[in-house]
Protein backbone atom coordinates (compact mmCIF):
# COMPACT_ATOMS: atom_id res chain seq x y z
CA UNK A 1 0.00 0.00 0.00
CA UNK A 2 1.40 3.40 -1.02
CA UNK A 3 1.62 5.93 1.82
CA UNK A 4 3.34 9.26 2.36
CA UNK A 5 3.16 12.61 0.65
CA UNK A 6 6.28 12.88 -1.46
CA UNK A 7 9.36 11.23 -2.82
CA UNK A 8 12.72 12.92 -3.29
CA UNK A 9 15.89 12.12 -5.11
CA UNK A 10 19.54 13.00 -4.63
CA UNK A 11 21.50 15.49 -6.66
CA UNK A 12 19.81 17.22 -9.57
CA UNK A 13 16.78 14.95 -9.54
CA UNK A 14 13.36 16.45 -8.88
CA UNK A 15 11.22 16.26 -5.78
CA UNK A 16 7.66 15.05 -6.43
CA UNK A 17 4.56 15.22 -4.29
CA UNK A 18 2.04 12.43 -4.76
CA UNK A 19 -1.58 13.42 -5.21
CA UNK A 20 -4.77 11.42 -5.64
CA UNK A 21 -7.58 12.70 -7.88
CA UNK A 22 -11.15 11.55 -8.40
CA UNK A 23 -12.73 11.63 -11.84
CA UNK A 24 -16.37 11.90 -10.75
CA UNK A 25 -18.82 11.07 -13.52
CA UNK A 26 -22.61 11.36 -13.33
CA UNK A 27 -25.33 9.26 -15.02
CA UNK A 28 -25.20 11.57 -18.08
CA UNK A 29 -21.46 10.87 -18.50
CA UNK A 30 -20.60 14.42 -17.44
CA UNK A 31 -17.49 15.07 -15.35
CA UNK A 32 -17.51 17.14 -12.17
CA UNK A 33 -15.07 20.05 -12.47
CA UNK A 34 -14.07 22.51 -9.74
CA UNK A 35 -12.81 26.04 -10.40
CA UNK A 36 -9.76 26.71 -8.22
CA UNK A 37 -9.85 29.82 -6.05
CA UNK A 38 -6.31 31.07 -6.62
CA UNK A 39 -6.59 34.18 -4.43
CA UNK A 40 -4.40 32.57 -1.72
CA UNK A 41 -1.83 30.96 -4.03
CA UNK A 42 1.79 32.02 -3.51
CA UNK A 43 2.22 32.52 -7.23
CA UNK A 44 -0.04 34.80 -9.27
CA UNK A 45 -1.99 32.44 -11.55
CA UNK A 46 -5.28 32.53 -13.40
CA UNK A 47 -8.16 30.43 -12.00
CA UNK A 48 -8.19 26.94 -13.52
CA UNK A 49 -10.51 23.96 -13.63
CA UNK A 50 -9.59 20.76 -11.82
CA UNK A 51 -11.05 17.52 -10.53
CA UNK A 52 -11.36 16.83 -6.79
CA UNK A 53 -8.35 15.50 -4.95
CA UNK A 54 -5.22 16.37 -3.06
CA UNK A 55 -1.91 15.21 -1.69
CA UNK A 56 -1.49 12.15 0.49
CA UNK A 57 -1.03 13.16 4.14
CA UNK A 58 0.91 11.25 6.78
CA UNK A 59 -0.04 7.60 6.92
CA UNK A 60 -3.21 7.87 4.83
CA UNK A 61 -3.64 5.29 2.09
CA UNK A 62 -4.42 6.24 -1.49
CA UNK A 63 -8.11 5.35 -1.12
CA UNK A 64 -8.39 7.12 2.24
CA UNK A 65 -6.94 10.21 0.58
CA UNK A 66 -9.29 9.90 -2.39
CA UNK A 67 -12.39 9.66 -0.19
CA UNK A 68 -11.25 12.41 2.20
CA UNK A 69 -10.41 14.87 -0.55
CA UNK A 70 -13.61 14.28 -2.52
CA UNK A 71 -15.67 14.82 0.62
CA UNK A 72 -13.68 17.92 1.68
CA UNK A 73 -13.87 19.53 -1.77
CA UNK A 74 -17.39 18.54 -2.89
CA UNK A 75 -19.33 17.45 0.20
CA UNK A 76 -19.87 14.00 -1.35
CA UNK A 77 -19.31 11.39 1.38
CA UNK A 78 -20.53 8.37 -0.57
CA UNK A 79 -17.73 7.63 -3.07
CA UNK A 80 -18.30 4.32 -4.82
CA UNK A 81 -16.41 1.96 -7.11
CA UNK A 82 -12.96 3.64 -7.10
CA UNK A 83 -11.16 2.28 -10.14
CA UNK A 84 -7.58 3.24 -10.96
CA UNK A 85 -7.46 5.08 -14.29
CA UNK A 86 -3.91 6.36 -14.69
CA UNK A 87 -0.93 8.12 -13.12
CA UNK A 88 0.45 11.29 -14.70
CA UNK A 89 2.87 14.09 -13.94
CA UNK A 90 0.88 17.32 -13.66
CA UNK A 91 1.67 20.42 -15.69
CA UNK A 92 1.57 22.31 -12.35
CA UNK A 93 4.42 22.51 -9.88
CA UNK A 94 4.23 23.04 -6.12
CA UNK A 95 6.24 25.93 -4.58
CA UNK A 96 8.75 24.97 -1.90
CA UNK A 97 10.92 27.21 0.26
CA UNK A 98 12.97 29.74 -1.66
CA UNK A 99 12.95 29.39 -5.43
CA UNK A 100 12.58 25.60 -5.45
CA UNK A 101 9.57 23.83 -6.96
CA UNK A 102 8.36 20.25 -6.68
CA UNK A 103 6.65 18.22 -9.35
CA UNK A 104 3.25 16.67 -8.79
CA UNK A 105 2.58 13.01 -9.60
CA UNK A 106 -1.18 12.41 -9.75
CA UNK A 107 -2.89 9.05 -9.43
CA UNK A 108 -6.36 9.36 -10.94
CA UNK A 109 -9.29 7.13 -9.96
CA UNK A 110 -12.64 7.01 -11.68
CA UNK A 111 -15.45 7.03 -9.10
CA UNK A 112 -19.21 7.01 -9.01
CA UNK A 113 -21.50 8.76 -6.56
CA UNK A 114 -25.23 8.55 -5.95
CA UNK A 115 -27.24 10.52 -8.54
CA UNK A 116 -28.81 12.66 -5.81
CA UNK A 117 -25.44 13.79 -4.40
CA UNK A 118 -25.52 17.44 -3.37
CA UNK A 119 -22.36 19.38 -4.23
CA UNK A 120 -20.98 21.72 -1.56
CA UNK A 121 -17.62 23.13 -2.65
CA UNK A 122 -14.81 23.96 -0.24
CA UNK A 123 -13.14 27.34 0.18
CA UNK A 124 -10.41 26.07 -2.17
CA UNK A 125 -12.85 26.49 -5.04
CA UNK A 126 -15.13 29.24 -6.31
CA UNK A 127 -17.46 27.26 -8.56
CA UNK A 128 -18.30 23.80 -9.91
CA UNK A 129 -19.87 22.48 -13.09
CA UNK A 130 -20.88 19.14 -14.55
CA UNK A 131 -19.23 19.23 -17.97
CA UNK A 132 -19.48 16.96 -21.00
CA UNK A 133 -16.24 15.18 -21.87
CA UNK A 134 -15.12 17.40 -24.77
CA UNK A 135 -15.47 20.49 -22.60
CA UNK A 136 -13.73 18.77 -19.70
CA UNK A 137 -10.79 17.91 -21.94
CA UNK A 138 -10.38 21.58 -22.91
CA UNK A 139 -10.69 22.88 -19.36
CA UNK A 140 -8.36 20.30 -17.78
CA UNK A 141 -5.56 20.62 -20.36
CA UNK A 142 -4.08 23.50 -18.34
CA UNK A 143 -3.18 21.15 -15.46
CA UNK A 144 -3.06 17.69 -17.04
CA UNK A 145 -0.84 16.34 -19.84
CA UNK A 146 -2.20 14.93 -23.11
CA UNK A 147 -1.79 11.30 -21.98
CA UNK A 148 -4.45 11.95 -19.33
CA UNK A 149 -6.69 14.18 -21.44
CA UNK A 150 -6.78 11.52 -24.19
CA UNK A 151 -8.25 8.99 -21.72
CA UNK A 152 -11.32 11.10 -20.93
Task: Look at residue 152 and tell me if it is in a domain.
Answer: no
Give me the numbers of helices (H) and strands (E) for the chain, helices first please: 3, 9
The answer for residues whose C-beta is within 8 angstroms of residue 114's C-beta and 6 or more apart is: 78, 80
Q: What is the CA radius of gyration of the chain?
A: 15
What torsion, rounded to 10 degrees, do the Cα atoms 52, 53, 54, 56 define?
A: 170
Output the domain CATH number for residue 29.
3.90.79.10
Q: Is residue 122 part of a domain?
A: yes
What are the pLDDT tens digits along the chain (152 aa)? 444 444 444 456 667 888 999 999 988 899 999 999 888 766 667 889 999 999 898 889 999 999 999 999 999 999 999 999 999 988 777 666 666 667 788 999 999 988 888 999 999 999 999 999 999 999 999 889 999 999 88
pTM, whole model, 2 decimals? Answer: 0.84
User: 1 in a domain, yes or no?
Assistant: no
* 82 falls within a domain: yes
Task: Tell me which residue range forms the domain holding 98.
Answer: 6-147
**What per-residue confidence (pLDDT) applies to 9?**
47
Number of neighbouring beta carbons within 10 Å of residue 138: 12
Domain count of the fold of the chain = 1
Residue 64, domain member (yes or no):
yes
Amino acid sequence: MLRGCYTSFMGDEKLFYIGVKGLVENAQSEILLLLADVSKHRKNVEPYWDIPGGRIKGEDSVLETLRREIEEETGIADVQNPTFLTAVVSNHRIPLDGDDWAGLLLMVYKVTTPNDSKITISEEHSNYEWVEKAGAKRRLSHKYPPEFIDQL
